[in-house]
Structure 1
């Protein structure tokens, strides 16, 4: 019955909404999935703030964003349009658009003081992602489905409708008399996701559809969670973060099964870079061999150095050399500064020039390599503060996400 379906959709959303939560963000493209999410949130009486990202990649995108704004106005939901100002795009268009989209969404949410943003992905998206993983010969993590939630730049992103089908959401909107926007790029088979969607339509009559794939994904996700739990226990037993650098006790690390070692290294790399894609298997194998041989190595903007009693992992200096942001911004995907922000201050790496202004840094018992790449507050060439290096001057440095979160989100 339709009423039962509507109740199930609302119940799915309630499961991820914290009791007493005041305000949430909802990303709305105008498509059926995100519009259904918006209407469900509004129907539950949640204080929603809606946002639309105009990627400015095709004619009509601005008009569609304006159409979403009108829908939100009709519901009494505050809405904002974010435009991706880009130049010529080289490489994977959809990947770059996705990265830009989530960066814009995170900035928007932090600006409004929103702790979480809802995204309208569905079971159909899960099945498409599964098929795309098969084409890449993906392993367990690549076939375990999209993450139901993750933290990016200090904001929690959630996908509360992953267990619901696009057909159910469209039926819900039809009953409510809501018209959605069909993005023409959804029919462009130059994109891998569109091709996966086309394959899914062919497989459905053969008994291999969204429902069956969802069951398989759930089984794989259960196995993934078990491995994540073991990896987390291994991290807590042999790992720590000091001044933003990772230290792994070598004996504890070496005692772990090879797969857990691999997952620990992947989690650390993901924590440093904030990247969504793991290094290729061959690169990870090369790194693992270097560690076994006690040799130094670099990968994904990180330096690996084996000592007599541990494995030290630092940010590679060139990876942060050009990073310079306002002190109120997130730096290097991990650092947030708390202190007397001012327009003439900037946030960048401490570097050798900053370390030279801290004559007592050796007394901190923190490796020089870690201090060089820690965040510092600057006024032009004058060092104002470097909290991780013991120079507070009214400032604090806070890591917006932990290695634990990285382990559980991959």
Structure 2
């Protein structure tokens, strides 16, 4: 554990504690570590409200934290609609709640209780899905979050049973989530499969070792993509562009990394598209056919491979000014005496009100998906077309940020 947190003595650090054996043991170990280093430790429990026992489990964690002298918060999730993948929805909600809590408390790092067993299960799940080098690298010890929080997994080298021993020695009781035995869930299926594979040489330790080797290979591939992006990537009005000929000459893995990164950045998505759909979009674009993927349009025009926000996707986002619009543009302007104007996509309706747009030399699709200021059904400002306007729109990312992210994602 020390390796993941050794760079943080004296820091303010958070830990996510569900009440299960792994996270409870992490809490105890971090509390001991914090006492010796002078770090400030804070704990949080996410109550998903999906089981009758969850509130009592959060209360139990709070009681343990009280005895250990660790400040504790319970974060409630009330947003599940019953639609979609429950475990995926719960994971995203959990990360969002924890990141918000950390920012409120002034914490930069949050420790998670994933173990070597979790790593093996993750690798096996991704292998079943046909993942490549990055996926088979498993979970990273250190992972930056778009919110600014950094997730730490200091127990990835520790087996689950060893953590139970820590708790037994301290006479601490942990909660058992019944869903951990529910074979309807993929992770539980993989856990069950792993329990029967040690005799065949495919146990948790072997898979975790494979993840470490894949991680080393991934670092090399990320560096190659980073160097290519430094040379080829450009940004135009929120679009990410590459010289098509030079892009086509790159190795497959490098092209796919750059294209995935561009799609995720332009559409503000955390997860890459599947490789099959990515390859289909690339082939179509290089053949001169514009394709929709991941909330973006991908196509080649005038020698440039252009990844653009899809106007219909941007049109779904509106908010009162000022603010961050469509996850890309920070829009600022003068204060309004009345209700704040609306920030929405310029779209076809707005562009029709600006017949002079061609004189700007800007790309039409980029303009359709760009922010505009709307009042009473009329466009009063379009920052990309009105550089002298009091309203300004600035991308929250630039080339340096994109290239640097290639080294860590």
Scaled to the shorter chain, the TM-score interval is 0.7 to 0.9
Question: Is 1:399 equivalent to 2:393 in the alignment?
Answer: no
SS at match of 2:166: helix
Q: Please give the TM-score of this superposition, normalised by the length of structure 2.
A: 0.84
Q: Residue 367 of structure 1 corresponds to which residue in structure 2?
A: 363
Listed as ranges, the matches of 1:193-232 within 5 Å are 193-232=187-226
SS at match of 2:58: helix
Q: Residue 66 of structure 1 corresponds to which residue in structure 2?
A: 59
Question: Is 1:164 equivalent to 2:158 in the alignment?
Answer: yes
Q: Residue 145 of structure 1 corresponds to which residue in structure 2?
A: 138
Moved more, 384-393 or 216-225: 384-393
8 Å CA contact retained: 1:50, 1:79:
yes
8 Å CA contact retained: 1:231, 1:407:
yes
Moved more, 330-339 or 83-92: 330-339
Listed as ranges, the matches of 1:9-408 within 5 Å are 9=1, 11-15=2-6, 17-18=7-8, 21=11, 23-45=12-34, 46-148=39-141, 149-325=143-319, 331-334=325-328, 345=340, 348-352=343-347, 366-375=362-371, 390=387, 393=390, 397=394, 399=396, 402-404=401-403, 406-408=405-407
1:12 to 1:195, Cα distance in 2 relative to 1, 3 A: same
Q: Residue 5 of structure 1 corresponds to which residue in structure 2?
A: none
Q: Which ranges in structure 1 are unaligned for 5 or more consecutive residues?
A: 1-8
1:103 to 1:345, Cα distance in 2 relative to 1, 3 A: farther
TM-superposed deviation, 1:190: 0.7
TM-superposed deviation, 1:189: 1.0
Q: Residue 6 of structure 1 corresponds to which residue in structure 2?
A: none
1:13 to 1:263, Cα distance in 2 relative to 1, 3 A: closer
TM-superposed deviation, 1:396: 6.6
TM-superposed deviation, 1:38: 2.4
1:300 to 1:63, Cα distance in 2 relative to 1, 3 A: same
TM-superposed deviation, 1:287: 0.9
TM-superposed deviation, 1:124: 1.1
> C-alpha distance in 2, partners of 1:159/1:100?
19
Moved more, 92-101 or 161-170: 161-170
> C-alpha distance in 2, partners of 1:100/1:309?
42
8 Å CA contact retained: 2:126, 2:136:
yes
TM-superposed deviation, 1:227: 0.9
1:288 to 1:56, Cα distance in 2 relative to 1, 3 A: same
Number of equivalences: 399
TM-superposed deviation, 1:281: 3.2
8 Å CA contact retained: 1:306, 1:312:
yes
Q: Deviations over 1:260-312 (max 9, x none)?
A: 11121112122234545433333122212112212211101001131223111
TM-superposed deviation, 1:225: 1.3
Moved more, 65-74 or 120-129: 65-74
Q: Deviations over 1:152-178 (max 9, x none)?
A: 333332323222222232222333333
> C-alpha distance in 2, partners of 1:81/1:388?
44
SS at match of 1:30: coil
SS at match of 2:196: helix
TM-superposed deviation, 1:394: 7.8
Aligned Cα RMSD in Å?
A: 3.3
TM-superposed deviation, 1:383: 7.1
8 Å CA contact retained: 1:245, 1:313:
yes
> C-alpha distance in 1, partners of 2:354/2:261?
32
1:29 to 1:284, Cα distance in 2 relative to 1, 3 A: same
8 Å CA contact retained: 1:347, 1:375:
no
8 Å CA contact retained: 1:243, 1:370:
yes
Q: Deviations over 1:98-138 (max 9, x none)?
A: 12222222333333343332222121111001111222233
Q: Which has the larger radius of gyration?
A: 2
